[in-house]
Amino acid sequence: MTIEFKVPERLQDIMVAHQAAKNCRDGCLKLSFRKQKAFWYGIKAIELHLKFWKELGILYPQTNKGNWVYSSQTNLVRKGDD
């Protein structure tokens, strides 16, 4: 039985910002003099990722245990294999 939950729009926005920060980090790493900016974007991406899962855990306490996967296409989190 697959367990899945709908992700609210405000949390979807956090994950979009997380992905944007990762993309900026990767782009900065390709440029010669942007290593400090890449570091900053990397930290921001981690902070947003942690914020997403923390707030999701408050909304759905079941997601605090086990492996959960977020799908940006369906805007659902699903219980993965343990």
pTM: 0.87
Helical ranges in 1-77 per DSSP H = 9-29, 35-59
% of the chain residues with pLDDT over 90: 82
% of the chain residues with pLDDT over 70: 98
CA–CA gap between residue 69 and residue 79 (Å, rounded): 6
- Starting at the edge strand found earlier in the chain, the sheet holding 76-79 runs 4-6, 76-79, 68-71
pLDDT number for residue 32: 77
Per-residue pLDDT tens for 26-48?
999 888 778 899 999 999 999 99
81, pLDDT greater than 90 = no
- At 82, the pLDDT band (50, 70, 90 cuts) reads low
Q: Hey, is 64 helix, strand or coil?
A: helix
